[in-house]
Amino acid sequence: MYLVLKLQILRTLKMTLIVRDYTSKDEDMLTVCSVIIEQAIIHKTFLISKRSSWADPFFENIKTTINNAFSNYLGLDSSKGRRLATQALYAIQNSALKSISEFKVQIDVDFSSNKERLKEIHTQLGFSSYLKKAQKKDQEALVSLLFTFKTNMTSSLLAEITSAGTDAAIIYTISDFAQTLKDANVTQETFKGTVKELTQEGVIALNAIYNQVISVAKIAYKFYNDNHAVRDEFSFSKNLRKLNPHPIPIPPTS
């Protein structure tokens, strides 16, 4: 009798659990929401001209709410580092990959007659280990590639590559991207770390943030329907894929 009663209580408690409105990790959801709102702030002059209810401090208030959620519900340190890392990467990702691609095609041609040496350079600069994943927008791979490139671009290798035909400017550009990440305290460990277990109160708060940001994103996405580059900045799913090309969803009821 006691066991039956206990099972009934457990079932009742389970039925009353608040369900997440999103399937990504809590930290990933807040990070993407943070990125979307940052983009809204960048484009707020146009957005407010289309929707006056978004006038200041609308977006700034959402940003504050998101920052507080990182602190209050997930724990500040690891989440703040993750968020700053993500924003730094978003700022340079496309440009860094473009420069890396331009650099690689040049050395591939310049050293085409010496395949063995070309392979050594690819390995030394991190291309063999990280390039394919970085090109698929794997952010950890991009971080590793840029740091490996900057660290292993010795003066002798620089001289060898430039003597073969590649301009030094693009090498310095790629190294500067790595420095940008270093200045933002981005390391591979930034993408790891533990966060506090989310309470039911936390789930309710995060659901509210998610739904508000999704509402902003849907409308802004439509406003920029003729500008795909900006439009995609307001896509939750595309931003999530940039953050983690292979996300591991959490059970909606957990």
pLDDT tens sequence across 169-211: 999 999 988 877 766 655 444 455 555 677 889 999 999 999 9
Q: What 3-state DSSP class applies to 72?
A: helix
Mean pLDDT of the chain: 83
Residue 188, both tokens: 């591979």
Cα–Cα distance for residue pair 78/112, rounded to 1 Å: 44
Cα(225)–Cα(12) distance, integer angstroms: 46
Phi-psi region of 166 (alpha: psi -120 to 50; beta: other; left: phi over 0): beta
Decide: 41 and 59 in contact? Cβ < 8 Å: yes
The count of residues in the chain is 254
Segments in 111-199 forming alpha helices (H): 115-124, 127-135, 139-152, 155-164, 168-183
- The predicted pLDDT at position 73 comes to 85
**What's the mean pLDDT in 151-160?**
95
Per-residue pLDDT for 130 more than 70? yes
pTM, 2 dp: 0.56
Looking at per-residue pLDDT, the higher value among 252 and 162 belongs to 162
**C-alpha 137, offset from chain centre:** 9
